[in-house]
Amino acid sequence: MPEISDDFFKNLSAFTEFSSVTDLSLYRLLPDDWLIVLADITSSTKAIEEGRYKDVNMMGAACITAVIRALPYNKIPYVFGGDGATLAIPGSARDIVARTLGATRRLAKTQFNLDLRVGLVPISDVRDAGADVLVAKFQLSRGNYIAMLTGGGVQLVDTMIKSAEGRKKYQIPVPEDDVAPDMEGLSCRWEPLKSCRGTMLSMLVYATGKTNSENIAIYREVIDGVARIFKSDPTVASPVSTGNMIFKWPPPGIQNEIKLFADSSNRRRKWFRMYFTSLVQFILEKFDLSAGGYDAPVYRAELRANSDFRRFDDMLRMILDCSTGNAKAIEAHFQDLRARDKIAYGLHYSNQALMTCLVFSLEQGEHVHFVDGSDGGFTMAAVQLKAQLQAASKKAGAEN
């Protein structure tokens, strides 16, 4: 593990109320020698239409896992995107991250038949292009943090990586040797989370203001409007609740977990351990017992607190368990903001959500859980969002 002396993210002051995501005073500029890492599954929409949304989600979370396992925990800002991830890393970690995510690309192809695209862009190139990346730290619970990113840089990086020049300059290759990424702690063992209120609503909101400050004000209007619909903090509509957390044995998701370790040594031993530990977890969950650092009632409470169902990386991403009335009210709120040329948005309705878990230490309660809507969730919502952005671009071109 490389030495990383830059404690930029570790030393950031954390906020605990998601509404504070729109407080620019909480954000800090990414250090000059850092890089933005963007990973996504190409043709993810097609894979999801084929019913492979669990595979897509797993590989999106795998990118985060691989980097965190290669670097010191809690020093790296990251945001889960459903079919990929955004991370920021210090320049000193470039080589190890490129090697690790290159190996993750190979794993995605050989085990899941998915093409994973990964690009590393220096923040200096982002700034030279007229955008920036500012980072804030959101505390899910004590010891568990995720990043919030603003400044327009993340969206610019996406464009830079996909350009003809960017493919040569920024995208990383698969390493020639057979190095395997470390996926320890990544799993997908819980049953899909069925909606308790009517529908799981996956939402993407992109502010279309002219400045970052203007966009932050728009996101505040978005969040305040959603809060008014629920008459409280939208946390009450978390997709993870006591009513829909179900653990069965053997877990259907364990097959994907086994694929993650296909290139590892001692694969048979890992296979046996996965089935054994999942059986123990099933027994502990069924009878509310504790053993070996796993306390079933405590873990479920921590899991609900550590569910990453609200994210921000130059775009607001949320999944909420809504009544049909509340979902329609949210859609009407977004339609109004779009009619006033403030946002573009994408929505996806489903009857359940998927949860992918990343566990670091049960004893210390360090674990994060990524949530996405079933049948595509954020990836399918992005189809509507992109269509709206294209329509807005054509409209602006016609007016000019």
Q: Residue 74's pLDDT is what? A: 58
Mean pLDDT, residues 153-175: 94
Instruction: Note whether residue 165 is domain-resident.
Output: yes
Q: Would you say the pTM of this structure is higher than 0.85?
A: yes
Residue 380: CB partners within 8 Å, gap ≥ 6? 45, 48, 202, 346, 348, 373
Residue 377 has pLDDT above 70, yes or no: yes
Q: State both tokens at 350.
A: 């489903």
Instruction: Note whether residue 55 is domain-resident.
Output: yes
Q: Residue 295's pLDDT is what? A: 95
Instruction: Note whether residue 381 is domain-resident.
Output: yes
Whole-number average pLDDT of the chain = 93
| pLDDT tens sequence across 38-81 | 999 998 989 998 999 999 999 999 999 999 999 875 579 999 99
Q: Residue 278 — very low, low, confident or very high, per pLDDT cuts 50/70/90?
A: very high
Instruction: Note whether residue 269 is domain-resident.
Output: no
Q: Residue 395's pLDDT is what? A: 78
| Cβ neighbour number for residue 273 with a 10 Å cutoff | 12
Nearest CA-CA partner of 30 in 125, 152, 133: 133
Question: Residue 101, class by beta-carbon neighbours within 10 Å (0-12 exposed, 13-18 middle, 19+ buried)?
Answer: buried
Percentage above 70 pLDDT, the chain = 97
Mean pLDDT, residues 369-374: 96
| pLDDT tens sequence across 186-243 | 999 999 999 999 999 999 999 999 999 999 999 999 999 999 999 877 778 999 999 9
Residue 2 has pLDDT above 60, yes or no: no
Interaxial angle between packed helices 212-230 and 324-339, expressed in degrees from 0 to 180 and rounded to the nearest 10: 150
Instruction: Note whether residue 262 is domain-resident.
Output: no
Quick one: three-class SS letters along the chain? CCCCCCCCCCCCCEECCHHHHHCHHHCEECCCCEEEEEEEECCHHHHHHCCCHHHHHHHHHHHHHHHHHHCCCCCCCEEECCCEEEEEEEHHHHHHHHHHHHHHHHHHHHHHCCCEEEEEEEHHHHHHCCCECEEEEEEEECCEEEEEEECEHHHHHHHHHHCHHHHHHCECCCCCCCCCCCCCCEECCCCCEECCCCEEEEEEEEECCCCHHHHHHHHHHHHHHHHHHHCCCHHHHCCCCCCCCCCCCCCCCHHHHHHHCCCCCCHHHHHHHHHHHHHHHHHHHHHCCEECCEEHHHHHHHHHHCEECEEEECCEEEEEEECHHHHHHHHHHHHHHHHCCCEEEEEEEECEEEEEEEEEECCCCEEEEEEEEHHHHHHHHHHHHHHHHHHHHHHHHHHC
Q: Which domain holds residue 177?
A: 14-243+301-399
- For the chain, what is the domain count? 1
| pLDDT tens sequence across 239-274 | 999 999 999 999 988 999 989 987 666 777 888 989
Tokens 């993210």 belong to: 9
Instruction: Note whether residue 278 is domain-resident.
Output: no
Q: Residue 176 — very low, low, confident or very high, per pLDDT cuts 50/70/90?
A: confident
| pLDDT tens sequence across 105-123 | 999 999 999 999 999 999 9
Q: Residue 1's pLDDT is what? A: 46
Residue 302 has pLDDT above 80, yes or no: yes
